[in-house]
Chains A and B, each alone.
Chain A
């Protein structure tokens, strides 16, 4: 069974940093491309970042470019999101999501999410 478990969320002050983790199991993580997607409270879904299995391609939404960094450790079956210079508008539930077989970012499995709150 595919499982994605996010962790690392919490309360952080504006301008602060946070590192999210996503632990993957039940599939071959090392050959899977991965996304981070977020959802602000009461709002819709917003794609944040994407990374291929071999780190060869990395993409970011304009809203986080230069502040967030996606990375992975295939030996640990883990995906990460380093978030710096956090703003109030970054407050959201952050999901990691596996790209499906047809590619082009679309996800077939999602984790349960971890809540990030940016507030003083």
Chain B
């Protein structure tokens, strides 16, 4: 069965430090991976799609099929990056999403 694992519930870093939020998946087909972010009191927002291979707000994520991972990285964390981050796997032709449990990132001043 498809599964998304985010091993860290909480991650705390200092401003300016590098940050990496881990995501591993299991899926028998060809995966589509996403990162979503939820800032305090806001709705869930799409941050990155692996297909786009883009950098948003300084974040990047590379799909590693060998390690079945899609880790989210940013070289220099900012306080405004503090939020809940969810990794999600898109399945099949309907692209329903399977989410991980999320990682709460706190960037300290």
A binds B: no
